[in-house]
């Protein structure tokens, strides 16, 4: 049977919706972007003295060292690889380790890219069921026991997003540690931490803390979320030096551009911007949860910069209604969640507009 690949479909873009509905203003709350940009990054980009005629650094040791220092856990530049978004790192790991004899385990409702890049290597995809929480029917977290039960002699790679997209759930580091301890060491595990910076650093530990303990794990991170650099496409992977060196054999020499490298370095050091972004995210989260509770709308985990909420049979109607009002959210049919929509936590003004039209839809449809 052919390994059918469904291409990744990004969220609608602003210009197309403006044109389609003849709207002057459209806000995008579909792709989990930070609504703000660091002033320090903007200041750098607006500088006219850039050497655009020169290739970027193919192996930016200083940035690798800065990243290692920022994440801690005794990491060094040898534990880091930079990529064109964390997507590139995910693809490098798959390309360098997976073939048509491999099985790849992906939890149900995971980031669609995992399956796409694995199928491109002709691997067999094994989907594990989500977590069932008796106290919360709207949990749908990553079920480590279900993953373990799917392991076979052909299992080569396991994907675990933590926190997860689009379900927004989180697994404690203790549970991940216990899981890694229980599986064969020949199985590689990718812990995707694209949203990790939104967690409470005083409570939640990164899987990077386990890299010196387990040689079979990779952790990926992104500058597209809390750092506000989605357009520049920059992310990184963390693992032991042997794994990192293997990935470098598959990596293009100039996959991250000059602006991405410099902006990443600046963003790492802009602690006030990170603090402001987290506060805005926290405030928006409380605001959205309150309105969902008022409207009796159920929602999934809330550890990221978005909320996935259940609309039922009205999901398509609400999605299209919001488009006509100039608000783009994300339908989740491709994630096998057809009754749900995902909304990013935006700026105060964007959030206010979303809430206004959400209330409008429910007011019109409950008369």
pLDDT tens column, 275-300: 999 999 999 999 999 999 999 999 99
286 and 143, same structural domain? no
CATH number at residue 283: 3.90.1150.10
315 and 293, same structural domain? yes
Counting every residue written for the chain, the total comes to 367
Can you tell me the mean pLDDT for 305-330?
Answer: 95
Last residue of a domain, one of 227, 255, 270: 270
Last residue of a domain, one of 246, 270, 294: 270
Can you tell me the mean pLDDT for 12-17?
Answer: 86
Reported as a pLDDT band with limits 50, 70 and 90, residue 11 is low
187 and 306, same structural domain? no
Query: In degrees, to the nearest 5, what angle opens at C-alpha 320 toward C-alphas 318 and 323?
Result: 110
63 in Cβ contact with 83 (< 8 Å): no
Q: What is the pLDDT of residue 1?
A: 45
Can you tell me the mean pLDDT for 43-72?
Answer: 93
Beta bridge partners of 104: 125, 157
> Could you give the number of structural domains in the chain?
2
Domain that includes residue 352, residue range: 14-38+272-364
Last residue of a domain, one of 245, 270, 295: 270
Pick the residue with more confidence: 9 or 57?
57
Question: Which residue's entry shows tokens 């694995």?
Answer: 118
Task: Give 241-245 contacts, CB < 8 A, sequence gap 24+.
Answer: 241/78, 241/79, 242/215, 243/215, 243/218, 244/78, 244/79, 244/80, 244/81
229 and 292, same structural domain? no
Pick the residue with more confidence: 180 or 365?
180
184 and 166, same structural domain? yes
123 in Cβ contact with 152 (< 8 Å): no
Alpha-carbon distance of 17 to 296, in angstroms, equals: 29
Alpha-carbon distance of 285 to 317, in angstroms, equals: 24
83 in Cβ contact with 236 (< 8 Å): yes
Tell me, yes or no, whether 30 lies in a domain. Answer: yes
pLDDT tens column, 323-364: 999 999 999 999 999 999 999 999 999 999 999 999 999 988
Q: Which tokens in the block code for residue 92? A: 């490098």
């Amino acid at each position: 049977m052919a390994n059918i690949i469904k291409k990744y479909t990004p969220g609608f873009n602003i210009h197309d919706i403006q044109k389609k509905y003849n709207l002057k203003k459209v806000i995008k709350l579909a792709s989990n972007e930070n609504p703000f940009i660091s002033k320090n990054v903007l200041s750098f980009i607006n500088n006219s003295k850039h050497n655009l005629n020169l290739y970027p650094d193919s192996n930016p040791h200083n940035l690798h060292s800065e990243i290692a220092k920022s994440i801690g856990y005794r990491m060094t530049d040898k534990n880091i690889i930079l990529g064109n978004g964390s997507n590139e790192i995910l693809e490098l790991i798959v390309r360098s380790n997976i073939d048509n004899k491999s099985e790849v385990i992906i939890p149900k409702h995971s980031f669609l890219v995992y399956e796409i890049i694995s199928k491109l290597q002709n691997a067999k995809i094994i989907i594990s069921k989500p977590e069932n929480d008796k106290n919360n029917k709207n949990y749908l977290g990553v079920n480590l026991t279900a993953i373990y039960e799917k392991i076979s002699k052909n299992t080569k790679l396991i994907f675990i997003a933590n926190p997860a997209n689009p379900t927004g759930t989180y697994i404690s580091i203790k549970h991940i540690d216990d899981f890694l301890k229980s599986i064969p060491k020949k199985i590689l595990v990718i812990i995707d931490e694209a949203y990790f910076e939104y967690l409470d650093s005083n409570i939640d530990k990164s899987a990077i803390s386990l890299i010196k303990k387990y040689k079979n794990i990779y952790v990926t991170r992104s500058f597209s979320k809390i750092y506000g650099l989605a357009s520049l496409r920059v992310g990184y992977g963390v693992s032991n030096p042997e794994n990192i060196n293997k990935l470098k054999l598959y990596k293009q020499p100039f996959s991250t551009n000059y602006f991405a490298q410099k902006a990443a370095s600046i963003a790492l050091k802009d602690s006030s911007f990170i603090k402001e972004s987290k506060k805005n995210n926290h405030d928006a989260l409380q605001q959205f949860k309150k309105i969902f509770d008022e409207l009796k709308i159920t929602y999934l985990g809330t550890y990221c910069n978005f909320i996935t909420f259940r609309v039922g049979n009205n999901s398509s109607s609400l999605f299209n209604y919001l488009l006509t009002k100039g608000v783009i959210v994300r339908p989740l049919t491709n994630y096998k969640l057809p009754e749900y929509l995902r909304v990013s936590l935006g700026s105060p003004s964007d959030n206010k507009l979303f809430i206004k039209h959400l209330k409008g839809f429910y007011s019109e449809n409950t008369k």
